Structure 1
Amino acid sequence: MVIKIAVIGSEKMADKVLRLNSHANVQIRSLIYDKPEESAKLVKMAQNDDVLFFTGPFPYFFAKDEIEKQGIPAVYIPLDELVFTISLYYIRDTLCIHPDRLSIDIPYQEVVLHVLDELNIDAARIYIKEHEHYRTDEIVKFHHEQWKAGNVDFVLTSVQSVHKELEQLGIPSFRMIIPKKNILDTLQHAVAKGELLLSQASQIAAGIVQIDYPDDAQAADTELHAKLHELLLDLGKKMNASVKHIDDRTFMIYGTRGGIRQITGNYHVFPILDQLKPFTQASIRFGFGFGVTALESEEHAQIGLYHAKKHAGHGAYIVTENKKVIGPLHHKTTKTFQLQSDDEHLLTVAKQTGISVSSITKIIDFIHLRHNRIFSASDLADYLQLSKRSAERLLKKLVDSGYAEISGEEQPYQKGRPRALYKILL
Structure 2
Amino acid sequence: MVVYNIGIVGPEDLATKFKTQLEELNLLNVSINLSIVNQFEDTKKLELSFVEKCDLLCFMGPIGYEIYREEIVPRLKTIPPISLHIRYDSSALYLCLYKLLSKKQGDINLFTPFSIDLLAEKEVKVALEEIDLSPDHYFLIHGDTSYTTEHWANIHEEYYRKGKTKYAITCLTSVAYELQKRQVPVMRIKPTYAAISMTTEILIAKLEQLISNELKTIAILVKWHEADRRPKNRYTFYKQKLKFQEAIINFCEKYEMSLTFENDFKAILYTNQSILKELTKNYKVFPFTKEIEEILGTRISIGIGVGNDAARAEIYANRALKFAEAKHTSTTYLAYQNGSIIGPLNSEEVEPLSFSTHLNNRHLQDIAKKTSLSAITISKLRSLIQNQEHPYITSHQIAEAFDISLRTANRILHTLESYRFAKVIGEEQPPGRGRPRKLYELKLTEE
TM over 0.5: yes
> Is the contact between residue 374 and residue 423 of structure 1 (CA under 8 Å) also seen in structure 2?
no
Choose the corresponding residue for 1:335, options 328, 353, 357.
353
> For residue 314 of structure 2, what is the aligned residue in structure 1?
298
> Is the contact between residue 7 and residue 14 of structure 1 (CA under 8 Å) also seen in structure 2?
no
Task: Tell me, in whole angstroms, the C-alpha distance in 2 between the residues paired with 1:353 and 1:287.
Answer: 30
> Is the contact between residue 77 and residue 183 of structure 1 (CA under 8 Å) also seen in structure 2?
no
Please say which of residues 295-304 and 161-170 is displaced more in the overlay. Answer: 161-170
> For residue 164 of structure 2, what is the aligned residue in structure 1?
none
Could you give the per-residue CA deviations for residues 353-383 of structure 1, whole angstroms, max 9, x where no partner exists? 4333333333333343345434444444444
Please say which of residues 36-45 and 273-282 is displaced more in the overlay. Answer: 273-282
Could you give the per-residue CA deviations for residues 374-401 of structure 1, whole angstroms, max 9, x where no partner exists? 4444444444444444344444555555
Please say which of residues 308-317 and 384-393 is displaced more in the overlay. Answer: 384-393
Aligned ranges for residues 111-130 of structure 1 at < 5 Å?
Answer: 111-115=119-123, 118=126, 120-121=134-135, 128-130=142-144
> For residue 424 of structure 1, what is the aligned residue in structure 2?
444
Task: Tell me, in whole angstroms, the C-alpha distance in 2 between the residues paired with 1:371 and 1:99.
Answer: 47
> For residue 16 of structure 1, what is the aligned residue in structure 2?
17
Choose the corresponding residue for 1:42, options 25, 31, 50.
50
Could you give the per-residue CA deviations for residues 163-216 of structure 1, whole angstroms, max 9, x where no partner exists? 556667777655541233433333333333332333344433322112235977
Return the offset for 1:6.
0.5
Return the offset for 1:74.
1.0
Aligned ranges for residues 150-161 of structure 1 at < 5 Å?
Answer: 150=158, 158-160=171-173
Return the offset for 1:285.
1.9
Matched residue type, 1:425: T
> Is the contact between residue 3 and residue 195 of structure 1 (CA under 8 Å) also seen in structure 2?
no
> For residue 107 of structure 2, what is the aligned residue in structure 1?
none
Aligned ranges for residues 363-382 of structure 1 at < 5 Å?
Answer: 363-382=381-400
> Is the contact between residue 96 and residue 188 of structure 2 (CA under 8 Å) also seen in structure 1?
no
TM-score (norm 2): 0.72
> For residue 359 of structure 1, what is the aligned residue in structure 2?
377
SS at 1:307's partner residue?
helix
Task: Tell me, in whole angstroms, the C-alpha distance in 2 between the residues paired with 1:114 and 1:82.
Answer: 10
Choose the corresponding residue for 1:31, options 26, 29, 33.
33
Distance 1:83 1:278, change over 3 A: farther
Confirm or deny that 1:211 pairs with 2:227.
no
> For residue 325 of structure 2, what is the aligned residue in structure 1?
309
Instruction: Report % sequence identity.
Output: 20
> Is the contact between residue 317 and residue 334 of structure 2 (CA under 8 Å) also seen in structure 1?
yes
Matched residue type, 2:386: H
> For residue 142 of structure 1, what is the aligned residue in structure 2?
151
Confirm or deny that 1:182 pairs with 2:195.
yes
> Is the contact between residue 34 and residue 161 of structure 1 (CA under 8 Å) also seen in structure 2?
no
SS at 2:36's partner residue?
coil
Return the offset for 1:86.
4.6
Matched residue type, 1:16: K
Return the offset for 1:342.
5.5
Return the offset for 1:116.
5.4
Matched residue type, 2:207: G
> For residue 193 of structure 1, what is the aligned residue in structure 2?
206
SS at 1:282's partner residue?
coil
> For residue 73 of structure 2, what is the aligned residue in structure 1?
64
> Is the contact between residue 302 and residue 332 of structure 2 (CA under 8 Å) also seen in structure 1?
yes
Could you give the per-residue CA deviations for residues 331-363 of structure 1, whole angstroms, max 9, x where no partner exists? 220232222455666545544443333333333
> For residue 54 of structure 1, what is the aligned residue in structure 2?
59
Please say which of residues 259-268 and 215-224 is displaced more in the overlay. Answer: 215-224
SS at 1:300's partner residue?
helix
Aligned ranges for residues 399-418 of structure 1 at < 5 Å?
Answer: 404-406=421-423, 409-413=425-429, 416=436
> Is the contact between residue 291 and residue 297 of structure 1 (CA under 8 Å) also seen in structure 2?
yes
> Is the contact between residue 252 and residue 269 of structure 2 (CA under 8 Å) also seen in structure 1?
yes
Choose the corresponding residue for 2:340, options 324, 348, 360.
324
Confirm or deny that 1:261 pairs with 2:277.
yes
Matched residue type, 1:423: K
Choose the corresponding residue for 2:301, options 285, 288, 292.
285
Task: Tell me, in whole angstroms, the C-alpha distance in 2 between the residues paired with 1:64 and 1:306.
Answer: 31
Distance 1:65 1:416, change over 3 A: closer
> Is the contact between residue 377 and residue 421 of structure 1 (CA under 8 Å) also seen in structure 2?
no
SS at 1:318's partner residue?
strand
> Is the contact between residue 88 and residue 99 of structure 1 (CA under 8 Å) also seen in structure 2?
no
> Is the contact between residue 231 and residue 272 of structure 1 (CA under 8 Å) also seen in structure 2?
no
Return the offset for 1:65.
3.9
Task: Tell me, in whole angstroms, the C-alpha distance in 1 between the residues paired with 2:26 and 2:367.
Answer: 47
Return the offset for 1:269.
3.5
Q: Which structure has the larger Rg? A: 2
Matched residue type, 1:264: T
Matched residue type, 2:209: L
> Is the contact between residue 375 and residue 423 of structure 1 (CA under 8 Å) also seen in structure 2?
no
Distance 1:410 1:311, change over 3 A: same
Segments of 5+ residues of structure 1 without an aligned counterpart are: none
Return the offset for 1:5.
5.2
Q: Name the count of aligned residue pairs.
A: 408
Distance 1:341 1:424, change over 3 A: closer
Return the offset for 1:315.
1.8
> Is the contact between residue 115 and residue 156 of structure 2 (CA under 8 Å) also seen in structure 1?
no
> For residue 7 of structure 2, what is the aligned residue in structure 1?
7
Please say which of residues 90-99 and 52-61 is displaced more in the overlay. Answer: 90-99
